[in-house]
Structure 1
Amino acid sequence: MQAEDDQQVDALPDSMRRALEDAVADRIVARGAMVLCGFPASGKSTAAQHLATVTGAVVLDKDSLAPLLEQSVMARLTGDPFDRDSEIYRSVVAPGIYDSLIGTGLVVAERHPTILDAPFLSPIREAAAGVMLGQHLRARSGASNDLPVVTVWLDSSPEVIRGRMVARGAQRDHPKLTDWQAYRRDVLVGGVRELAHTVCDVVIGS
């Protein structure tokens, strides 16, 4: 697993490495949160590994937070343990998962640099009404207003995302690839990307 992680970090383009480092330079030093957002397969985990190496930050990954809980609940509710895009997931499961990730992450960030790695599609939708995502996350968690929070949207085209999903062969991507046109229409080009460009501090092509 470590060898695979090293290969992923090595594969990160130099331009993206520099952009990530510039995004947090002088902002996240002794404390604070780096929030990496983007669609599945946009490169968040690879970016998080690189930033963790550079900054010494702790990484909190949504996919590793409570996978059994998410899969069990969604299997019972929709029959698809990997459903992360339905209205049922967004309204029933996502709020609790994100509250846990954001709350824990920003508590840790008060004492130590922390990276939050998750799509953040629901919080981006919530923050879209004239509020920057970092401000929304601090308010949602009750974190202090002076806690540094830098939000980064990793921008990838639907074609690149599909290619990465096919290449990695993850079971969680199977439903998306099975009905790709619907996933592309409803999620990838459904307006979240445009919102992210307005509420995130930094947009980096991946």
Structure 2
Amino acid sequence: MSASAPRLIVFAGHAGTGKSTLARIAIPRLHAATGESFCMLDKDTVYGAFSSKVMGLLTGDPDDRDSPTYLENLRDQEYSGLLDIARENIALGVNVVLVGPFSREVKSRRMFDARALGMPEDTPIRVVWVALDEAEAKRRIVARGDHRDRYKLEHWDEYRKRRFDPNPVEFPELIRYDNTHRDPARFEALLAALR
């Protein structure tokens, strides 16, 4: 357990931006630099099979992760559960890395407030907004061929209306990371900001 309060690190952003990949590359580097443990909680890993089962029962479409039915009945419960697991790990002295869109939580500023998240008040929070141009994000979503993206791709015009691009002036605490190209210097700067 580290001498300082355990950290909550969030890789947030829209589908196809590379949040999970970036987190998986960052965590071993953070561990090597700090000697601390990090628990990674990726929303798709934690809730993928569960949500498929529930959406199959609700709508007949286990791949649906973007319809009004999902957004109104399951989305917030998934995020609440992730935060509950994160809270338990932080209480045990383990740093937590959360991966998921978290757009509502960022937009409402809840993601920057340890108390609003139910975390200990001294929990340092770092939120990385992984940004990518919409056309490139869509290209990557198509290329990865994940069945859970089918509904989103079939209803792209509706999905794109909800894409939120946080203004750096309005969200100065957000660590914005353009993931269009791998840039070693920018990645090193990101790691330094997360330590």
Give, in angstroms, the shift of residue 197 of structure 1: 7.5
Give the alignment's TM-score, normalised by structure 1.
0.72
Distance 1:197 1:124, change over 3 A: farther
What amino acid is aligned across from residue 98 of structure 1 in structure 2? Y
* Alignment pair present for 1:183 and 2:143: no
Is the contact between residue 11 and residue 128 of structure 2 (CA under 8 Å) also seen in structure 1? Answer: yes
The structure 2 residue matched to 1:34, chosen from 2, 5, 9, is: 9
What amino acid is aligned across from residue 116 of structure 1 in structure 2? L
After TM superposition, the structure 1 stretch with the greater mean CA deviation from structure 2, 101-110 or 58-67, is 101-110
- Indicate the percent of aligned positions where both proteins have the same amino acid: 27
1:150-161 equivalences in 2 (<5 Å) = 150-161=126-137
Distance 1:172 1:195, change over 3 A: farther
Give the alignment's TM-score, normalised by structure 2.
0.76
Q: 2:24 corresponds to which residue? A: 49
Q: 1:202 corresponds to which residue? A: 175
The structure 2 residue matched to 1:72, chosen from 53, 57, 65, is: 53
Q: 2:165 corresponds to which residue? A: 193
CA distance in 2, matches of 1:195, 1:75: 37
Q: Give CA deviations for 1:159-196 in whole Å, capped at 9, x if unaligned.
A: 11111112111111222223433333x333xxx22379
What amino acid is aligned across from residue 36 of structure 1 in structure 2? F
Distance 1:156 1:113, change over 3 A: same
Structure 2 unaligned regions, length at least 5: 32-37, 180-195
Q: How many residues align?
A: 168
* Alignment pair present for 1:118 and 2:100: yes
CA distance in 2, matches of 1:82, 1:100: 20
* Alignment pair present for 1:107 and 2:99: no
Distance 1:93 1:149, change over 3 A: same
Is the contact between residue 94 and residue 122 of structure 1 (CA under 8 Å) also seen in structure 2? Answer: no
Is the contact between residue 152 and residue 203 of structure 1 (CA under 8 Å) also seen in structure 2? Answer: yes
Q: Secondary structure at the match of 2:176?
A: strand
CA distance in 1, matches of 2:59, 2:8: 34
Q: 1:134 corresponds to which residue? A: 112
Q: Secondary structure at the match of 2:94?
A: coil
Is the contact between residue 33 and residue 106 of structure 1 (CA under 8 Å) also seen in structure 2? Answer: no
* Alignment pair present for 1:89 and 2:70: yes
Note the aligned Cα RMSD (angstroms): 2.3
Is the contact between residue 152 and residue 202 of structure 1 (CA under 8 Å) also seen in structure 2? Answer: yes
Structure 1 unaligned regions, length at least 5: 1-28
Give, in angstroms, the shift of residue 30 of structure 1: 6.3
What amino acid is aligned across from residue 10 of structure 2 in structure 1? V
Is the contact between residue 10 and residue 128 of structure 2 (CA under 8 Å) also seen in structure 1? Answer: yes
Q: Give CA deviations for 1:34-69 in whole Å, capped at 9, x if unaligned.
A: 101011111101111112111122211111112222
What amino acid is aligned across from residue 54 of structure 1 in structure 2? R
